[in-house]
Structure 1
Amino acid sequence: MSTPPKFAPGLPAPTFFSSLATSYTRQTANTTHTALSLSLPDILALHPITPSSIIHDNAAGPGTATTALLPHLPSPPPSILLTDLTPAMVSAAADTFPPSTYRSITTLQLDSVDLSGLPRNGEITHSFLNFSLSTISDPAKALREIHHSLAPGGIAVVTTWKRFAGVEIVRATQRSVKPDSEPMPMPWEEFTREGVRGR
């Protein structure tokens, strides 16, 4: 019997992420794609992608960061490793980037807290963890794994919420309607604050 995927405490059951796989863009109003897309010109001006680059789209969901990267890829396109813990997300990514069309993109089920099974581990030139830090069971360990996966001179791009307005709205509603209720949890809320250090 396989072990169910482990996510951050306080998150819904793994079936939630499975059900989200095919509707992620609509459910998030494409915000995670838009935020990364707006940042990419500055990021890639500092660390350009070349045909020999090796890109890791980590905790990729249906491939949001990869989709944002497509307009910036050179020809021939570099190798992209797209990984996620949830099998349904990996399947959604494989459907978005079928091997017959996207020969340089590989999809793989992999937990961000253990990247030892990552092909080309230690050779990644560009690692993207796009708005997934709060879903990971051990964010500090995941960040260490990213560091170990990089090639010398490689770059890690980790995006996260500075302010997660959805939680704020729900908590304000709770205070108004049922002030004695347990506030809606936000996993790893400390990572929304500047200067947080991992364990």
Structure 2
Amino acid sequence: MTTTFLFSYRQPSASSSMILGSFASAYFHPPFPRLPQFIQPFSFPEMADDNKTPLDHFNAVAESYEKSTGGCTRELAERLVPLLDINNDSVVLDNACGTGIVTDVITQKFTNGKGPVIHAVDGASKMVELVDARFPDNDYVRTGVMPGEDLDFPDETFTHSVTNLGFLFFDDAKKGASEIWRTLKPGGIAVVTNWEELGYLPVLWKLQREIRPEEEPFSVPIKPEWFKPSHTEQVLRSGGFEQVDLQEMVVHWGAESLEEVSSSIVQMFGPAVFKDWSDEDKRKAMDMVPSILKDVTVSLNRNGQSCVGVTMKAIVAICKK
């Protein structure tokens, strides 16, 4: 038995840094005809009667969720963590932690039994449950259910604070910024990331132009100002930060094949884009996605594996208290 997350939507309290695509489930209708099956729906497993351990279940869920969002969040985390100079004495906040990608990237750099203390917190209890189960034997990883706007930590707790793709969904982003500033030690470093460009949007817009040109172009439920780097900077300065350095990073919504990229985009965004389309139009769209992607994807390498993907441009704000 499973508790489905991807297809049961509620207004997120920055419930995860992976929440990039989960909003699409707000519009989810019955399955599309001949829907590709490369990417399976993301579900939280309750322990079934099989030979898998709980850790096996939760690791599989995390991997499935990452694949369903093209791996772009992990790629971003892998790019930004080296900028932080985290060591064994660090105390790190993984804020709006989602499935624990940032925590996982950090812990993989410390394999000698030591490492920084990492507090992974999220407003979604199921996400925290998953993270807790992923690191059962790591005494340095602590978890908690709390929204980013109300962190239950004393002042000046952390040497480093990471909020990877969570701010776009905070109910009160300025309060979230002030909480990061409050809980950061003097001299501490905070990193906040948001999206500037979503590479899958032009693909969806071309689909609409080809099949339903009369429709308004699909837009994500993110306020337009969040796509401007200056807005991220303004919010962080309003929270108390005086030193805010903005960078951009290019990552990818990708997979090992063009077909898998097509499938993940259809699974994630088709429910919103195609929600009022006929079955015939849905079939046309699914057949057309790979040919559209062929013109916009780039080759990339992930852990020695050749992949393809569409580019995603991230805003990376590095703040010092």
Smaller-chain TM-score bracket: 0.7 to 0.9
Say if 1:127 and 1:156, in contact at 8 Å, map to a contact too.
yes
Matches within 5 A, 1:26-41: 26-41=67-82
8 Å CA contact 1:62, 1:93 repeated in 2? yes
- What corresponds to 1:51 in structure 2? 88
Cα distance in 2 for residues equivalent to 1:82 and 1:193: 27
Distance (Å, rounded) in 2 between the aligned partners of 1:152 and 1:86: 29
TM-score by length of 1: 0.78
Q: Equivalents in 2 of 1:58, 1:85: separation in Å?
A: 9
How far does residue 175 in structure 1 lie from its aligned partner after superposition? 4.5
- Which of 169, 174, 197 matches 2:208? 174
Question: Is 2:222 aligned against 1:187?
Answer: yes
- Unpaired runs of at least 5, structure 1: none
List runs of 5+ in structure 2 lacking aligned partners: 1-9, 15-22, 29-41, 45-60, 239-321
Question: Larger Cα Rg: Structure 1 or Structure 2?
Answer: 2
Code of the aligned partner of 2:116? P
Q: Which amino acid aligns with 2:228?
A: R
Residues 95-127 of structure 1 deviation map (CA, whole Å, 9 limit, x = unaligned): 1111xx100111111101111x13x54211110
Q: Is the 8 A contact 1:5 1:86 kept in 2?
A: no
2:106 alignment partner, one of 62, 65, 69: 69
AA aligned opposite 2:138: Y
Indicate which of 84, 90, 94 corresponds to 2:132: 94
How many residue pairs match? The answer is: 184
Maintained 8 Å contact 2:95/2:121: yes
Q: Name which of 64, 74, 82 aligns with 2:120.
A: 82
Give, in whole Å, the separation in 1 of the partners of 2:162 and 2:132: 18
Change (3 A) 1:174 1:113: farther
Q: Could you tell me the TM-score, scaled by structure 2's length? A: 0.51
Native 8 Å contact 1:94 1:107 kept in 2:
yes
Q: Kindly provide the amino acid, as one letter, of the partner of residue 109 in structure 2.
A: H
Provide the identity percentage. 27
SS in 2 for 1:103: coil
Amino acid at match of 1:91: E
Amino acid at match of 1:64: I
Q: Deviation of residue 49 (structure 1)?
A: 2.0
- Contact 1:60/1:82 (CA < 8 Å) preserved in 2? yes
Q: Is contact 1:80–1:105 with CA below 8 Å preserved after alignment?
A: yes
Which one-letter code corresponds to 1:90 in the other structure? Answer: V
Instruction: Indicate conservation of the 8 Å contact 2:77/2:101, yes or no.
Output: no
Q: Post-superposition shift, 1:68?
A: 1.1
Question: Residue 65 of structure 1 aligns to which amino acid in structure 2?
Answer: V
Deviations 1:167-197 (A, max 9, x none): 3433443344434545333313322212113
Alpha-carbon distance in 1 for matches of 2:86, 2:103:
13
**Whole-Å separation in 1 of the counterparts to 2:212 and 2:175:** 37
Q: Which moved more, 1:134-143 or 1:176-185?
A: 176-185
Match of 1:106 in 2: 142
Identify which range, 21-30 or 52-61, moves more after superposition.
21-30
Using a 3 Å threshold, how does the CA distance of structure 1 residues 154 and 185 change in structure 2: closer, same or farther? same
**Aligned partners of 2:93 and 2:43: how far apart in 1?**
22
Distance 1:20 1:195, change over 3 A: farther
Q: CA 1:175 to 1:134, structure 2 compared with 1: closer, same or farther past 3 Å?
A: farther
Does the 8 A contact of 1:171 with 1:184 survive in 2? Answer: no
144, 150, 162: which is aligned to 2:196?
A: 162
Contact 1:127 1:150 in 2 (8 A): yes
Match of 1:77, SS? coil
